[in-house]
Structure 1
Amino acid sequence: MKPHHRHDEPMKLELKLFATLRPYLKGTCEDGTLEVPDNTTVADVIELLKLPEEQVRLIFVNGRHADRDRELCAGDRLGIFPPVGGG
């Protein structure tokens, strides 16, 4: 069950950026918690953090694959991964 959230206050999300995306947390949500308005989507978070579009490859919300248009809820865990190079 999701925690109760009042619509007039920011939602708190748990955010993890991986590998080459980690530096984008600096000065924004270094503790891993991000406050965003209600009705925020994954795409909104990508824009807010100024992540380069081509560097966003995999998105997970609460451990499940998600699309950029996914609307987030208070308490969600958002993970964003860059492309992974092979060798």
Structure 2
Amino acid sequence: MKITVKLFASFRIGRFDREIREYPQATTVGDVVRDLQIPEAKVGILLLNFVHVDLQRQLADGDALSIFPLVGGG
């Protein structure tokens, strides 16, 4: 199935901004995060089709997944 993956901020370094990627059926958001070698502890926000989701959410063909890092500041 084809999933559009959008990365933001520091997650783009050495990767990509937006890419359509192929994954097998039953792939989860966590599978994509691990495939991209993003440490789960550094993930701040996950949006699937503009809705907040967790790492266990299963993907469907045509989904758009946005991955944001934790934000710091003060």
Q: Same fold (TM over 0.5)?
A: yes
Please say which structure displays the higher CA radius of gyration. 1
**Deviations 1:20-44 (CA, angstroms, capped at 9, x unpaired):** 1112535xxx651111010000010
Q: Which structure: greater strand fraction?
A: 2
Q: TM-score, normalised by structure 2?
A: 0.90
* Cα RMSD (Å): 1.5
Give 5+ residue unaligned stretches, structure 2.
none
Aligned to 2:11: 21
Alignment counterpart, residue 43 of structure 1, candidates 26, 30, 39: 30
What is the aligned residue count?
A: 74
Distance change in 2, residues 1:21/1:31 (3 Å):
closer
Give 5+ residue unaligned stretches, structure 1.
1-10
Deviating above 3 A after TM superposition, structure 1's stretches of 4 or more consecutive aligned residues are none
| Identity of matched residues, % | 45
Amino acid aligned to 1:32:
E
